[in-house]
Structure 1
Amino acid sequence: MSTDRRIVLFDLYGVIARYQRPGALAKMAARCNAPADVFAEAYWACRQPYDAGRWSASEYWTAVLRWLSRTADTDTVEELRRTDIDSWSRVDRRMVGYARSLRDVAEVALLSNMPSDHADAFRAAHPWLRDLDHVAFSGKINAAKPDPAAFCHCVVAMRAAPADFLFVDDRDENVRAAQAIGMNGHVFTGLDELAATVDTWLPAGGRTS
């Protein structure tokens, strides 16, 4: 059931923000004196509970370092944490502008898989987030995509119906998860394709072009 609202719900990385900074994993691997491929395996294998708010930054990095048979001293953990946060800090300014412009014709929200400490740093560095109608980071809501709970959080928080949302993500599995709870979905491949989809989805009087 729809309340006849139009809410464009954006993923962050791969849509509005850029992927991890090139060379960041190799830099962190070197700090740990570990092969880059082994470090990357540990980095991603331990990530889900950190993204979902079940582990703190200290718990996450301790797990990564133990995987690598390295000592999790405070200085190493903090250096890795700061390097990691910086590696995910870049945005696509054109996409930021487009998302903000949509607020003239629709509500605009964000749902991103991001640890709690990353979210705090990202908010501080990107004041444009305050222009959005709702912002949800997985580490703050204790649910990470494609968990249905992440999408349901946005539905409840915005007092909307699933059908009111157009969810935009670059990963097909996340779009399918959103559609499974009743949201509309779009797999992001570029701004032009997204703008055409949004224009079609909006009521005729509220289109952006």
Structure 2
Amino acid sequence: MSSDRKIVLFDLFGVIARHQRPGALEELAARCPAPTDAFTTAYWACRPPYDAGRQSAPEYWAAVLRWLSLPVDSDTIEDLRLTDIDSWSRIDERMVAYVQSLRDVAEVALLSNIPSDHADAFLAAQPWLHNLDHVAFSGKIKAAKPAPAAFHHCVVAMRAAPADFLFIDDREENVRAAQATGMNGHVFTDRDELTAIIDTWLPTRRLTGKLHDIMKDHRL
């Protein structure tokens, strides 16, 4: 059952924020030190509990080091943790402007797979996040996409119906998972296509000329 609410629910990385900085895994591997291929395998294989808030940052990095049969010490862990956070810190300023402008015509929320300490860093560095109607980070809500619990959290927290949401993510598996819960979904490819999708989804509340002017001002 849907109400007349319209909630645009955004993913973060690959949509509003950039994916991990190129060369970051090589840099992290060198700090261990470990071969890049082996480090990359350990980095991703150990990641799910960390993303889902079931593991602290020190626990995650200790697991990575043990996977690589390397010594576990607090200084190395903290160095890796801070370097990792920095590698995921880039945003797309044009998308930030777009997301903020959408609040004139819809409710806007965020659902991101991100560890708790990374989330804290993002919240501190990006004050615009505090202006959204709801922000859900996997490390904070203890559920990561594509698990249904991640989407259910947003429905409950916003006291909405699943059909009130349009979920935007660059990963098809996450969009399909959102649709399976009853949400509308769109796989993000670029900003212009997204603008057209949202214009269609908000037929009675078209984006204002002001919004289009903002988008034009931020076009490269």
When the two structures are superposed, what TM-score results if normalisation uses the length of structure 1?
0.99
Match of 1:56 in 2: 56
Alignment of 1:160-199 (within 5 A): 160-199=160-199
SS at match of 1:143: coil
Instruction: For 1:30 and 1:2, locate their aligned partners in 2 and report how far apart those are by CA, in whole Å.
Output: 51
| Amino acid in structure 2 at the alignment position of 1:17 | A
SS at match of 1:160: coil
Instruction: For 2:141 and 2:64, locate their aligned partners in 1 and report how far apart those are by CA, in whole Å.
Output: 23
Match of 1:207 in 2: 206
Instruction: For 2:130 and 2:28, locate their aligned partners in 1 and report how far apart those are by CA, in whole Å.
Output: 31
Identity %: 77
| Amino acid in structure 1 at the alignment position of 2:191 | L
Q: Does 1:17 align with 2:12?
A: no
Q: Does 1:36 align with 2:39?
A: no
| Amino acid in structure 1 at the alignment position of 2:103 | R
Match of 2:112 in 1: 112
Instruction: For 1:162 and 1:4, locate their aligned partners in 2 and report how far apart those are by CA, in whole Å.
Output: 12
Instruction: For 1:161 and 1:106, locate their aligned partners in 2 and report how far apart those are by CA, in whole Å.
Output: 15
Shift of 1:208: 1.0
| Amino acid in structure 1 at the alignment position of 2:14 | G
SS at match of 1:167: strand
Shift of 1:203: 3.1
| Runs of 5+ unmatched residues, structure 2 | 209-220
Match of 1:134 in 2: 134
Could you list the structure 1 runs, at least 4 aligned residues long, displaced by more than 2 angstroms after superposition: none
| Amino acid in structure 2 at the alignment position of 1:89 | S
Match of 1:77 in 2: 77
Instruction: For 1:124 and 1:23, locate their aligned partners in 2 and report how far apart those are by CA, in whole Å.
Output: 25
Instruction: For 2:147 and 2:91, locate their aligned partners in 1 and report how far apart those are by CA, in whole Å.
Output: 25
Shift of 1:130: 1.0
Instruction: For 2:3 and 2:157, locate their aligned partners in 1 and report how far apart those are by CA, in whole Å.
Output: 15
Match of 1:145 in 2: 145
Instruction: For 1:53 and 1:3, locate their aligned partners in 2 and report how far apart those are by CA, in whole Å.
Output: 32
Instruction: For 1:45 and 1:58, locate their aligned partners in 2 and report how far apart those are by CA, in whole Å.
Output: 16
- RMSD (Å) for aligned C-alpha atoms: 0.6
